[in-house]
Amino acid sequence: MQVLPLAGSHDRQGFDCGRHELNDWLRQVARQHQDKGLSKTFVAIREDEPPRICAYYALTLAELEIRHLPDAWRKKLPRRIPGVRLGRLAVARQYQGKGLGELLLVDALTRACRIYAEAGGIGLFVDALDEQAASYYRRFGFEAAPDNPLLLFLSAQPAGEGRPKGGPA
């Protein structure tokens, strides 16, 4: 598998993850948002079938209120904090349960870490669609916002840099 930026040669119409809202977003919104600079979408493709999208995710820059951070992270930070938002992550039905979601999550976090290193930011935020999706992200160390269990956070900071005492590793 390769993870590449979404391009016009990718078959967005043929993608089906089983969730109408995620299929429609890829088909109808992803390219528009990318062309306008609102977000970037990355697709997992097989090298032997490059147009076919096996999975995708979208990233955008975000600024969130500090109240959305877990308690341990709130000390000595400004009221609004920068980060990267993972707005969508979906895997086509035939690839579900095979680790492709993990691969994309690691790719997204790697990109967020590069952004942090170059421009600053506190971490990766995820808007989970439902409790099942939130549970998936919590397995990887994401923490829910105190006021919204579907908004999750994972630090993009290297170990020891700016991490709160007793905070996530």
Q: List the end-to-end C-alpha distance of the chain, in Å, as a whole number.
A: 29
Catalytic site residue from 56, 57, 116, 137: 137
Reported as a pLDDT band with limits 50, 70 and 90, residue 156 is low
Q: Please state, in angstroms and rounded to a whole number, the distance separating the CA atoms of residues 52 and 43.
A: 9
Tell me, what DSSP letter sits at residue 11? B
Percent helix, strand, coil in the chain, to 5, is: 30, 35, 35
- What's the confidence (pLDDT) of residue 116? 85
In this prediction the pTM is 0.85
Q: pLDDT of 25-70, one tens digit each?
A: 999 999 999 999 999 999 999 999 989 999 999 999 988 888 777 7
Q: Which residue has better confidence, 67 or 83?
A: 83
Tell me the CATH number of domain 2-155, given options 2.130.10.10, 1.10.490.10, 2.30.30.110, 3.40.630.30.
Answer: 3.40.630.30
Q: pLDDT of 128-155, one tens digit each?
A: 988 999 999 999 999 888 888 999 988 8
Check if 137 is active-site: yes
Please state, for a pLDDT cut of 70, what percent of the chain lies above it.
92
